[in-house]
Structure formats: structure tokens, C-alpha cells
Amino acid sequence: MQQVTIDDVRAAADRIRGSVLRTPLIPAPWADGEGDQRLWIKPESLQSIGAFKVRGAFNAIASLDDATRARGVVAFSSGNHAQAVAYAASRYGITAHIVMPVETPEIKVAATRTWGAEVVLCAAGQREAVAAQVVADTGGVLIPPFDHPDVIAGQGTIGLEIVEDTPDVDTVMVPVSGGGLASGIGTALKALRPEVRVIGVEPELAADTAEGLRVGHPVDWSIEDRNRTIADGLRSQPSELTFAHLRRVLDELITVSENDIRAAVRELAMRAHLIAEPSGAVALAAYRVAARPGKTVVILSGGNVEPALLSEILAG
């Protein structure tokens, strides 16, 4: 199986430049008491749609030839990928059909429509079938959330930026769900700085990839099991493509508890003044339970959290 290369990631960086926020690294000097500063946060929550997903979606759409792109794009997602595809499509002035389950919170449906997308509501479990029908009806191109080289390469641009900003980074901690983010970032880091330790992070309650890497092949956890975690963006499982990348680029995978995740959301809000969704806070949670020597960058992957849930978490 052909994997994404550093050249693919560099090409993605050229495509998305000016359309996707070049996020800064935020120093976290409070994190280590009076010693040398060791922690930086990469706040992908500051992207226009509040999550890193816009990088991969934009690169995938930008990579289409003009005639194909003009037919529009299609995606199925109840989460950040929905907004990412909708936003990227709006930047190109093309139609986006986004298939969302009827139980999707109204706030997420509304946010997706903000970018001019056509939302197609469907019954639970019917997303892929309905999306396939929309593709057949419209001739649009399906943009998958992680199982595609262009999507992985787009997410990998985060890795390029980390090396530009902290050439002497020792460790990078990245949330793992479908694995596109960690595959892309790991590809960039291992090509440019092979000595950098790339650590994936999963909730204990959705640790299928941790188990899969231990046994050497993907393992299936039931969706009922994965749905237990508060980190609703980390309930997907890797594809064959992303699992192959993760085996190659991850040095280890750390799991964190639900309480670790909530504490990290609180710390990000109160010390970094950054709003993280629970899925976006797992890398800081991992740093708190298993910091490594040297300089560490944690990826804050997204900030789309319901106000009521955020308030509940802040109340401790």
C-alpha cells in the first residue's frame, strides 16, 4: 500500500496556504512550575471551523481537477469534518452536500449550513448509503473524513509547521481516532526529524488503536463501547490506510481516562484561555499523566463543544 510522503505534505501546504490558518505555537509556561519551559500548544481550535479538519478537506478539494471539482462535493459527518468540507467548498464556490444523522445536535447542523452547505438528514446508520446516493445523483466527489491520501497529507501540514516553529522539539502528542491527523503529522515529523517521539493518544474507553498496535493488526471495538467516552470526536477507528501509517510513525500510544480529559479541558480554558472539545484536550491529558523529557508539543485538535457541556466540565 502506498503511503503519504513528505512531498505530498509539502504540496498540501502549498495548496492550503492563505486559505487555512497558519496556527501559532502557544507557550504554556505555567505547566511546569519554575523549571525551563517544556510545553507548547498547537491550537487547531482557532481554525475558522474550530478544528484541524479543514486542512485535509481543503487539500482534498484543492487537489481535484477543475471540471471534477465543479460538480461539487459530498461528505457524511456529524462532526467537524462536516463543517470542514462545507467551509472548503464555500471557499471554492462549489456545492457541498453534507449527510448528517437526524439526531445530530441542531447547533452542528446550523454551523454546517452557515457555510452554505446543503444538509441532507438521514436515519441513524444510513449515512454512507445516503451519501453514496447523493454522489450518484449529483455527480459530486465524496470527501472522506480520514481514509484518503489527500486528507492525510493536509493534516500533515501541522507537522511541517511544528518543525518550522520548534526545530528542537523532542515529543509531539496527537489525538488518534480514524488516524488521519496522527498519520499526517507523523509522516511529516519522521521525514524531517526522525528522532522526534510521536505519541498517539486515545481515551481508555475508545482504545481500539492502542490494542490494534499491540497485536499488530486493527481490532474492532463495538460502537457501543466507543460511544462511552466523552470525547465524541475520537470514536472512529482507523482504516487499512491510516493503520498502516500509524504502525510506521507512532512511537507509542498513551490512553487517558475520562477524568484526565475533563481536567485537561479545564486547564486549557483557565490557563491557556483556549476552548477545547474533550477530543481536542486528550493530548494535554496525556502530557499530564506521562510527560516525556525535553520539549513537547501537544495538538489541541478542536474546540467545538456545547456550552452546557463546557460549563459542566468547568464546574469540575
Question: Where on the chain is the footprint of a second copy (CB under 8 A)?
Answer: 21-24, 26-30, 34, 43, 45-46, 48, 50, 87, 90, 114, 116, 266, 269-276, 303-304, 307-308, 310-311, 314-315
SS3 at position 21: coil
Residue 295 annotated in active site: no
Residue 148 vs 262, nearer CB to a second copy? 262
β-bridge pairing 171-175 and 197-203: parallel
303 grid coordinates: 474546540
Measure Cα distances from 301 to 166, 195, 239 in Å.
Answer: 18, 23, 20
Q: Which is nearer to a second copy, 50 or 154 (CB)?
A: 50
Q: What is the signed CA dihedral for 111, 117, 123, 128, rounded to 10 degrees?
A: -120
Cβ nearer to a second copy, comparing 47 with 239: 47
Q: Minimal distance in Å, beta carbon 107 to a second copy? A: 8
What is the closest distance, in whole angstroms, from the C-beta atom of residue 195 to a second copy in the complex? Answer: 25
C-alpha to C-alpha distance for 234 and 177, rounded to whole angstroms = 4
Catalytic residue chosen out of the listed positions 45, 77, 239, 301: 301
126 CB-contact burial (10 Å; exposed 0-12 / middle 13-18 / buried 19+): middle
Task: Name the minimum Å distance from CB 149 to a second copy.
Answer: 27
**Whether the Cβ atoms of residue 135 and residue 99 lie closer than 8 Å to each other:** no
Residue of 42, 45, 53, 78 marked active site: 53
Min dist. Cβ of residue 314 to a second copy (A): 4
Determine the Cα–Cα distance for residues 38 and 227; give it in Å rounded to an integer. Answer: 33
Measured CA distances, 33 to 29, 30, 236 (Å): 8, 6, 36
Cα distances (angstroms) measured from residue 230 to each of 117, 135, 162, 199, 255: 27, 32, 28, 21, 14
Backbone dihedral angles phi then psi of residue 89, each to the nearest 5 degrees: -65, -40
Q: Which three cell numbers stand for residue 196?
A: 522526534
- Strands of the 39-43 sheet, one edge to the other: 26-27, 39-43, 296-300, 171-175, 197-203, 252-256
- Nearer CB in complex with a second copy: 61/142: 61
Question: Is 53 assigned a catalytic role?
Answer: yes
Of 273 and 293, CB closest to a second copy? 273
Closest CB 260 distance from a second copy, rounded Å: 18
Q: CB-wise, 142 or 282, nearer to a second copy?
A: 282
Write down the least CB distance from residue 26 to a second copy, Å: 5
- Could you give the residue numbers annotated as active site? 53, 301
